[in-house]
A = this chain, B = another copy of it.
Amino acid sequence: MIFTEKANAIVGQSGGPTAAINATLAGVISAAISSDKIDTLYGARNGVEGMLREDIIDLGSFFNENTDEKLRRLSATPAAALGSCRLKLPATDGAENNEKYVKLFSFFKKNNIRYFFYIGGNDSMDTVSKLSAVSGNFDWEMNFIGVPKTIDNDLDVTDHTPGYGSCAKYIATVMSEMLCDTAVYTVKAVTIVEIMGRDTGWLTASAALAGINTGAFPDYIYLPERDFEYDAFFADIEEAFKKHPNVVIAVSEGLHFADGRLVGEDTQSGAVDVFGHKYLDGTGKALELAVKEKFGCKVRSVVLNLPQRCASHIASATDISESFGVGGAAVGAALDGKSKCMMCINRNDGEEYSVSFSPAPVENVANRIKYVPADFINEKGNGVTEKCIEYMLPLVRGEAEYFTRNGLPEFITLSL
């Protein structure tokens, strides 16, 4: 609903860190502190966890001076400056007697909070959905808006998610560099690069961007959208060896067989260490062992791991700017009376890439997964199509601002 009286707002961050989640926070802050309908903008430490323990900071005060400089620095700081959480709220039946919901709404009332912004992925949209559903039970009207954030790009309705472009840019960049690195020797070798993405292959697909300027692409890209088969995989490698001695392969961590078993389970289930513990190694290691067994050549697996999701030093300017924009648009939507929504990024029609932002019902997003579409993957299931590249390419464009001193990064800390 539209609130005619001035009220307070709260913003939280939730789920896994990205290089862009703070840019969205900066967008929320920028719009909120310049609005005459919002009195105080609170930031909750560790998302809903911080609201439950009333651990909040007054973001308005913090950003009151040197606003632009601080917002730019916040946008260039990776991970979640307010801290994050993985708390999933309980089912909404009987919420009025549930300790968590009671605490949260008494906190909202006490602090006259009418606007709630939650920056996160799938689980965070579930939080927005649940809080919207029960607010009637507490006789406290509020507008709940989710703002997307996930490197995984697996949220429905939105064309893409803030954080994806920067992660894709890191992956494509280090993949280009590794393609140079692995090409220097003349001996047969296979390099397997394991990329994040348990359910979807959006990030792994971005490895295809490595060759856009250099002409050197990874030989194969395998996504979890297609069932994995060792026979086809080995045949692919044999084919690649006919062209050059150094084979480079990108794989999603979530690669699985037709029966649903994860490729990484091969090692996870079979191997035990000296203490008798099961090994919990991943897809890359399982494939490394299998290729070594089959070809007897040099094989190594490289797991891109944490650096891919927090690489602010090579963030995409497009991603950071859109992440900021969608945060601001969320504030606009809330002030306009929208609730129970997630802000989406829409790709506009036209030759030139451009986007607009609009709210979509959060139930269309929460607990759903957007997979890489069939026409983005080649027939053999070992690479991506031109259409996929056209989709990804604009998202990694431009060098985002990055602050250094003495050649090392400077980040902002939200401590008052």
Contact = CB atoms under 8 A, between A and B. Distances in A.
Interface string A70-89: 00000001111001111000
A184 B310 CA distance: 12
- Band of interface residues on A: 35 or more
Given A186-B85, A302-B305, A409 B173 contact: yes
A209 B305 CA distance: 21
B397 A407 contact: yes
A408 B394 CA distance: 11
Give the most central of A77, A273, A285, A404: most B CB within 10 Å. Answer: A273
Interface stretch (A105-113, A228-236, A274-282): A274-282
A279 B277 contact: no
Interface string A157-182: 00000000000010011101110111
Given A78-B177, A181-B78, A316 B270 contact: no
A274 B281 contact: no
B185 A46 contact: yes
A184 B405 contact: no
Interface string A186-218: 100001000000000000000001101111000
B213 A309 contact: no
A272 B274 CA distance: 10
Contact of A84 (B46, B184, B269): B184
Given A271-B271, A289-B277, A407 B317 contact: yes
Residue of A46, A176, A182 most packed against chain B (CB within 10 A): A176
A134 to B, nearest CB: 25
Interface string A15-39: 0010100000000000000000000
A263 interface: no
Interface string A230-244: 000000000000000
B313 A302 contact: no
A272 B271 contact: yes
Contacts of A213: 404-406, 408-411
Contacts of A180: 17, 77-79, 310, 411
A311 interface: yes
Contact of A279 (B279, B303, B409): B279
Nearest to A183: B79
Contact of A273 (B85, B169, B271, B314): B271
B410 A313 contact: no
Contacts of A215: 413
Interface in A42-85: 46, 49, 77-80, 83-85
A304 to B, nearest CB: 7
A258 interface: no
A269 B317 CA distance: 47
B313 A173 contact: yes
Interface of A: 13, 17, 19, 46, 49, 77-80, 83-86, 169, 172-174, 176-178, 180-186, 191, 209-210, 212-215, 266-267, 269-275, 277, 279, 281, 285, 289, 292-293, 300, 302-307, 309-314, 316-318, 393, 396-399, 404-411, 413
Given A177-B311, A178-B307, A270-B275, 19 more contacts: A80-B184, A83-B186, A84-B184, A85-B185, A169-B407, A174-B313, A176-B411, A177-B307, A191-B306, A213-B408, A266-B273, A267-B274, A270-B274, A275-B289, A279-B279, A302-B306, A303-B303, A318-B407, A397-B406
